[in-house]
Structure formats: structure tokens, C-alpha cells
Structure 1
Amino acid sequence: MLASSLSPHPEAARGLLTAEDRLRLLFDPGSAGIEGSGALRFGSGLVHGRPVLALADAGPGDPAVLHQRAAFYRRVANDGVALVEFLDCPPLTGAAGVEGLAAMDACLTARAALKGRGLSITALSGPALGPMALTPALADLVVMHRAAGFWSLGGAELAHRLGHEDDPEAAYGGAGLHGAGTGLAALGAADDVRLVLDIRRLLGLTRPRAAALAESDEAFTTLLPLDPFEGWDSAALVRLVADEGESLALWPDHGTALGCHLARIGGQPVGLIASNPAQNGGALDAAASRKARRFVDFLAGQGLALVMLLDTPGSLPGQAEEAAGALAEAAALRRALTALPQPPVALVLRRAQGIAALALGLGDARTRLLAWPGARIGLGGGSEGPEVPQPLSPNQTKRALIAALAGHDTPQR
């Protein structure tokens, strides 16, 4: 139910949910306990049976509010549960000077201490400007309202005062910028209700669930084009590998040479990284490496396994990629893979070569490596290199992935 039909709060005038409405929609029916008053509310309850603490702040910040939020973050750290925070905060008021600086620092310090303690998600249904913009940057995942969400160092007003008169406001912090450009927003939602439901789905996908046994599936055999160098869309492969309806793409508009998905395979929650040969043949570029590294860091923090579905000829060459720091991003991805709680599972469909193969850890003896017939893995490019011995029959793909995740039937290297 939309807030406009519930209460006369300022959010309702903009077609948004109130702070309390967001919390009630987030939690499983009958599980929510909500405290606080006015624009700042705190909640505790279950999301798909998982304990979650949440706050919703829809008012201008002041030192007292910031200290309340800091105390709540410390409670989250003490309880060791997931955190969801909904922010729709106009610029700070009454927080100038040393008192405001100290309150903001206390809030950020308590928020930063949650790193590695459990899943934290920040949802932006409105502005997070200036000092308030640092809070979402500390979250594991950020979800933005596509129309109302705004996340910026200072926004267009400040930029215009500096002489950038013609730049639209969205260029300084809209969901489009942070979805496709910076890649800081993992998801964008069309409205407030969808935003809350997406968060529920994110929380649900990190929990195991019973699943039917994987059967032989001939649909895998028709995915690849006959031309070994023709691009193809890996979305169909992700749908076949994941349990039915159990995948969600993160950062879908950023670094599109790779897709990053939360999914379940055989009931087990996993992270999926899938090459996208429809984009530059699946060649790894700086943005895709950065997205994959961010995703791997997230998986390591949540204790989730990684499955990679790969078809890449190597790294994307060019001056623009050199300037974008492609080498450093590829090295950072390789370093991040070493922090995973268990070795990744990698399925090579046609090829995985060059710097991309190294960055994705295929040379690591711990990686559980699977490959389809004819697949080539190595430092060379194109069609060079020997085919992988003991290839996997495509129609047995899902069954083999489930076994590899369990540590069984891994091919000898």
C-alpha cells in the first residue's frame, strides 16, 4: 500500500512510502517490531525467516539523530544479524560546527565497524548528499529508487555554483549514473514498493532452500553458436544453471562484459559470474574486472561460494583500457579470489585465455575446473592451445556443478 493513502508525511507527497511503511513491507507478516517516532524508525523482525534489523530515516539529520543511528549500528554489530537501512535524507540541518562533525563521525565509525559482521544493504529512496553520502558507500549493497534516489558529494546546486551550469542534476548522483557509470548501485527500482521487494529477494537468495535433484538437460547443448567466434547472450545459460526463478543480476548495467548474479544451484546460495560474449566477445575490460572484484569481495564477506561460467578470449586491448587501469583491476580481481571461503567452481564453455584466465584464477590448482568439449584454456588467444582433457557433457552441466560445489567428482588437474 502506498504511503499517500496512509499518512500525510512529506514522503507521501512524493509518492513514496513512509519510514514505518517501508519497515512493515520489509518484514515477514506478524514478525515486525517497530520503534521510534517521526521520520526516524527502527525495526526488528524476520525476512524469509532470517533475523534482520532495519532503520528508516526520512528526515533532515541533526546530531541527536546521528547519535541514535550510531547506537543502532552498534546494536546490529552486537546481535550479528543483517542490516537494512532506508535513507531519504535532506541535507543536514543543525549539524554545523564541531558538534555536527563529531556526530557524523560517530555515525560513520559505528557503520564502518559492521564490515564483515553480516550482510548490510542501504536503500536510497531520496537524497544522500555531502557527508550523508558516505553512509551508503559503507554498505555491502546499495539499491536506488530510479527516479527519487540521489547520491552525491554535493549535487548539481554546488556544481552550478562552480560554473558547471549546463549539467543536469542526475549527472551528479542519479540512479543512472551509479547503476551504469560508477557501478556503486547494485540495483535500481522503479518505485518504493519494488525497492523493498528487491531487498527481500536479495536477503532470501543468500539462504539455502531445498531443491529437486538435477536432471540431464538437453537445452544446454543448443546454447552455443556454430561459429566459435560469434557472440552470444549468456542470460539463457544462467537461467538453466540456476534453480528455477532463483537468480538476480547485480550491477546489470555496469561492466557488462561479465554478469554477476545471486542464485541458488541445487538449493545452495551461490554467486554466479558469467561471461557475456555478446559484449566485445566476452573480453574482460576494466569495468568488468572491477565489478567482478566487488562481487567476489561481497561473496567472501557473506561466506558464499562462487561459480564462474566462462567464455572469454582474454582482456580487451586498447589505450582507453590502459587509461582505465585494466591491469590493476585484473590484478585486484585475482587477489580478491584468494579470500573466498572455498575454492571457486569454473566452467569453461569455449575458451578462457590470456590475462582474463589468470585474473579469474584458472591457473590456481584449487579452482574446481570443468569444461565443455572443445574448450581451450591457456595464455594464448584465439583458437590456440590444446583442448581440455576429460570434457564434461553439456547435458550434465548442472549435475556436475552441484557435485563440484560439494567438493566431489572434481577433474584432476
Structure 2
Amino acid sequence: MLVPQFASSVSAAPALSPATQTVVASIGGVITPTATFMVTEITGTKTFGITPALPAGLTMNSTTGVVSGAPSVSLANTTFTIVVSDGSVSALATLSLTVNELTAQQVAVAPTSQAVSGKIGTAMIATSAISAPLITGIKYFSISPKLPNGLTMNSATGVVSGTPVGTASQLIYIIAVSDGVKYGISTLRIAISGPFALSPSTQTVTGQVGKAIVETALLTSTSLAANRTYSISPKLPSGLVLHATKGIVYGTPLVGLASTTFTVTATVGSQTAISTISISIVGAVGAIPQAGNRAGCGAATIGGRLVQSIKPTDAELPSTNFACAVNVGVRARGITVAMATAGVVTNPDVSQYLTTASRVNGGSITKNLVVSSKAGVQRSQFTNLRRGTWFITVRATSATGVLVGTWTSSQFRIG
């Protein structure tokens, strides 16, 4: 018996190739797009889909099934199912996807380290700005541990500045700069010390022209290092010297000096401390007759008819090279002041006298009497004065304006 034979018409199942793919990415990093699928046994218009939904930043092309983009969130390893269909038949593939947290990249910065020192109450020299050319995003600086009180850091430049209000030992601070993708590290060493002091803090020196002074005390400090150097301001008078490593003032003054305060500064690196010295130098002994010794001087004569005459005793005159004698002659409407001097050749410390007539109820007149080169009597005249109570002040000064001595008369009536 003849049995009929039938040909088989069973077709292959729809399929996607590659059937599985794996992608490992980092937050913000653009992934390599997945492969384009080869589809078999699906002849209609194909549409691709994926489940579950892709993480933010990644997308699928619904025509090709290609996944691309840059993920913005992390994702633990997850298997996604990709489906392609023409509405009648469909095929499946899988995608294994992992998105890792971003790992920042360390880059070089400059300077890599700095060291600064300061003292309480004094503005510290600011640190250098930190340069990070390989960090291209918006930079933000931070520092750890916390800075000493009074110091701050600029979060845009990394510069540390300010005036410390408390001490700090030599701590190492970490300055970090980052734009969220790259970062750099620089170290900063800070040492803040307390106020520095010298002992003695103040001294007084009184001397005479031509005679060596008693040198000042050796300056010491318990807070400033021993390798100190010293400077002084203003400049010392001619003949006096400051020892550069001991802070001692010594020498033989060659000129007179009214009481003046000098500041001695001790320096060790950027650290300083000060002490003051008050110095006054009187005229040379024996340059002209002193009070109580009129040898070689004439009398301070005035002449004419006087209402009153005021003559200071030797003891009332300044004990410096002032004048041999002074005489104030009071007239009906005027005053004559006579000065007996030895002349500037004998007495080089005094070159002029400023003679001031002052009215008790207000008003004054000053005249300048330049000392002659030879001994003699010189006079200042004040005329047509208002009625009232008056007095005379005589100030002797050197050629450089240094005050040598002052004498003030008793009060008297005019008119």
C-alpha cells in the first residue's frame, strides 16, 4: 500500500543576536553604545523596548535597540530584558548593567607645602594662592583641622590670612581643592607664638656733650630667640652707637639733645620686640661760664629809665650753656630783654634765643635773637604793648633747633 509523503513546514523561532551583553560604567562617564542587534524571523516593522527602566542618563533607540548615554546615578549590577516585536512575534535579549560611584582623580597642585609663623595681635603674612591648572571645573577649597582663632581661608583661592588671637603649636593643616571630578592636596604648617618682650622695657639716659655716657643695660628676652639683631629709631645723636647684637647704647655724645624717646627693635626672622630709651644730652662742661661762674662775661645791661628790672640769679638759670646773665627791663609801654653771652665761638651749643613776651589774659609776641660770634650783650625790644600782666620766656636753641635751656621770668605789670 502506498503511503503519501508530506514535506515539513516548521520555521525557526524569532531571535536576537547578541542574546546577552554586559556594560560597566561610572557616574558621569559616557558608555560605549551597546551592539546593534541582528533580528531573525521577525519580518514586520520592529520596535524595541527594555525593562526595567534604564537609570537616568541612559536611553535606548527604539528602532535599533542600542543603549547609549552617560549615567548620572549609581546602579548595582542589574539584568535588563530587551524585547523586540513587530506586533505578531517577538524576541528577547538581556543586558547586564553596573554603574559605579565616581572615583575622583588626584592631580598636582602648587605649592605642595607652605610654612608660616606669626604672633598674637599682629597680622600674619598671607600664604600663597594654590594653583591647580588640571582642575578645570569650579574649584572649592577646604582646610582641616580648624584654623587658629583669627585666621581664615579664602574658599576660592586657598589663601590663609588674618590676625591670630591665640597661640598655636606647629600643626600641619591639609588644604584640599576639588571640582567634584579631580582634587589636589597641599599642606600648611602654622606656628603662632605669644607677644614678644624685651627687658628692661624702658630706660633713661642723661649725658653731657664730650663726656662718655653710662651705657644702657643689656637687653634680654625670655620669649624671643637669642640670635637677635637690634635697630633703633630715630637716628642716635652724633657720637652715640647702638650695639647690633646686644641692644646697648654707648659712646660719647658730640651734640646736645633735648629729651627724646628712641625705640630699640629686636628682630629674629619675622618676630620682633621693642624697648624704649629716653635720651637727653646737655651742653659741654666749661664751654661758656656756667651758672655761678661769670668769668669773661659782661653784665646784661639795659640802660635808660625803667619802671622795673628783673634779673634772675645764677641759681635760677638753666644749668646748661644758657647765658651769662639775663635782665628784663620793664618800661611804661614796653619791655627790653638783655642777654649777656660768650658768643657762638666759645659756646657752639647755642645759636639763637627765642624771646617771647606773653600777656596773662591772652596774646604773645616772639622775637628771634641770633647769638653773635663774639661775647657781648644782645637785646630784644617789645614796644607799644597793651596794659596788663606780662611775663617773659627765653628759650635757647642750637643751630639744628635742639632746645638747650628755658628760663621764665616772674610776672609784671605794663601800664
Structure with a larger share of its residues in helix: 1
Specify if TM > 0.5: no
The bucket for the TM-score relative to the shorter chain is: under 0.3
> Structure 2-normalised TM-score?
0.19
Normalized against structure 1, the TM-score is what?
0.19
More strand by share: 2
Q: Based on CA coordinates, which of the two structures has the bigger radius of gyration?
A: 2
